[in-house]
């Protein structure tokens, strides 16, 4: 931003790379597919979906692989391991059939037989593309995708693997976990805020689609226009109508942004609880240095956090809890 300002380069108020790589509608869909809602995870998702190279995920807490399995479930995702005797057959079938493949739980060494695949050693013949695996030449389906996954927190792969794949670190950070717990606490304590935020995202997406449709329609009319534009009354009336609708939508977008700021401010009141939760997890995560017995998964920790919120809610509002139970019955 400092460089842009100094050289007087035009730039939007919030110079956010995520606004270029993805949309709020997409990120909401990712979160529905079990991707954590913190910024680090959203950035990882944006890199993964925009990269031309195949992905190598460092994912000790299994958050990335959970998202991939959910996201690709409708595309007949093939999950396998290097130790699986049918791995090569699965990969060959998927390359030609167009199914995504997830090779999970990689260790520090990767079988050289799949090197042409993750390196995208593609042979082009006319409009067709091929990948050579061993003595076989496989026709590359345009829908094929490969995901490599390791649970190792600090793997040591050869430099060529890191150069040929998109290396994405899904290891949870303290700031990232704090955002995840904050989202969890807000959903539990203030479901109205969570619902309002979701509704706001959907509304903003509708506005963006409406503006895009108006722009496309105007460009189409102008491209198809023959003769003098000023003589076309229908086109002029349509232009005026589009301008009025555009101004109205822009005004609604402005109001929506103000509402979003108020929702974020209300959510931030729960930040201390989220901060303490993240601190406790990372403190527990260091206990393995005392003894290997002390190892805790993030999933189990989140379950404990959920139970803790429910217990506190019962103690603070016992009557409300009893009323909810009676309604449930």
Q: In this structure, are 193 and 258 located in the same domain?
A: yes
Handedness of CA 21, 25, 26, 30 (dihedral sign): positive
Range of the structural domain that residue 106 is part of: 18-171
Q: In this structure, are 56 and 88 located in the same domain?
A: yes
Q: In this structure, are 122 and 219 located in the same domain?
A: no
* 290 falls within a domain: yes
Count of alpha carbons within 13 Å of 179, Cβ hemisphere only? Answer: 13
Mean pLDDT of the chain: 85
Separation between Cα atoms, residue 117 and residue 62, nearest integer Å: 24
Q: In this structure, are 195 and 221 located in the same domain?
A: yes
Could you identify the residue written with the tokens 């000790």? Answer: 60
Residue-wise pLDDT for 236-267, tens only, equals 777 787 778 778 777 877 777 777 788 888 88
* 188 falls within a domain: yes
pLDDT of residue 202: 73
Residues in a beta bridge with 128? 125
Separation between Cα atoms, residue 13 and residue 287, nearest integer Å: 44
Looking at the predicted structure, is the pLDDT value of residue 161 above 60? yes
**Out of 49-63, 80-94, 260-274, least confident range:** 260-274
* 52 falls within a domain: yes
Q: In this structure, are 128 and 163 located in the same domain?
A: yes
pLDDT of residue 319: 59
Over residues 293-322, mean pLDDT: 80
291, two tokens:
């003894």
Give residue 105's pLDDT band: very low, low, confident or very high (50, 70, 90).
Answer: very high
Residues in a beta bridge with 56? 148, 167
The CATH number of the domain where 145 resides is what?
3.40.50.300
* 118 falls within a domain: yes
Separation between Cα atoms, residue 322 and residue 327, nearest integer Å: 9
* 313 falls within a domain: no
Structural domain total, the chain: 2
Under the phi-then-psi rule, with left for phi > 0, alpha for psi from -120 to 50, and beta for the rest, what region is 219? alpha
Looking at the predicted structure, is the pLDDT value of residue 115 above 80? yes
* 108 falls within a domain: yes
Q: Which of 171, 205, 224 is the last residue of a domain?
A: 171
Count of alpha carbons within 13 Å of 262, Cβ hemisphere only? Answer: 9
Q: Which of 137, 171, 205 is the last residue of a domain?
A: 171
Q: In this structure, are 165 and 27 located in the same domain?
A: yes
pTM above threshold 0.85: no
* 320 falls within a domain: no
Separation between Cα atoms, residue 128 and residue 58, nearest integer Å: 33
Residue among 44, 293, 29 at smallest CA distance from 173: 44
Q: Which of 171, 189, 207 is the last residue of a domain?
A: 171
309 within 8 A of 181, measured Cβ to Cβ? no
Residues in a beta bridge with 36? none
Answer with the residue of higher pLDDT: 323 or 194.
194
Q: In this structure, are 22 and 167 located in the same domain?
A: yes
Q: In this structure, are 107 and 231 located in the same domain?
A: no
């Amino acid at each position: 931003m400092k460089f842009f300002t100094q050289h007087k380069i035009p730039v939007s108020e919030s110079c956010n790379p995520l606004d270029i790589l993805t949309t709020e509608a997409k990120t909401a869909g990712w979160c529905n597919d079990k991707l954590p809602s913190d910024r680090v995870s959203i950035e990882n998702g944006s890199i993964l979906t925009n990269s031309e190279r195949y992905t190598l995920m460092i994912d000790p807490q299994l958050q990335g692989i959970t998202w991939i399995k959910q996201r690709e479930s409708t595309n007949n995702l093939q999950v396998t391991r290097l130790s699986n005797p049918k791995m090569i057959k699965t990969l060959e079938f998927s390359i030609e059939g167009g199914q995504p493949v997830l090779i999970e739980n990689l260790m520090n060494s990767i079988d050289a037989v799949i090197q042409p695949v993750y390196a995208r050693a593609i042979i082009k013949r006319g409009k067709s593309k091929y990948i050579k695996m061993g003595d076989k030449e496989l026709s590359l389906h345009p829908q094929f995708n490969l995901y490599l996954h390791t649970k190792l927190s600090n793997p040591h792969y050869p430099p060529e693997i890191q150069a040929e794949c998109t290396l994405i670190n899904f290891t949870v950070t303290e700031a990232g976990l704090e955002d995840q717990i904050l989202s969890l606490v807000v959903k539990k304590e203030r479901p109205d805020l969570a619902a309002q935020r979701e509704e706001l995202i959907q509304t903003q997406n509708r506005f963006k689609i409406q503006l895009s449709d108006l722009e496309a329609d105007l460009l189409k009319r102008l491209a198809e226009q023959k003769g003098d534009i000023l003589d076309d009354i229908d086109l002029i009336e349509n232009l005026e109508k589009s301008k009025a609708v555009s101004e109205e939508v822009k005004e609604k977008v402005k109001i929506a942004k103000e509402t979003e700021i108020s929702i974020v401010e209300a959510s931030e009141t729960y930040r201390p609880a989220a901060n303490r939760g993240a601190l406790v997890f990372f403190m527990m995560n260091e206990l393995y240095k005392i003894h290997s017995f002390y190892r805790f998964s993030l999933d189990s920790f989140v379950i404990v956090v959920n139970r803790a919120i429910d217990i506190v809610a019962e103690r603070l509002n016992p009557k409300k809890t009893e009323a909810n139970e009676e309604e449930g019955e």
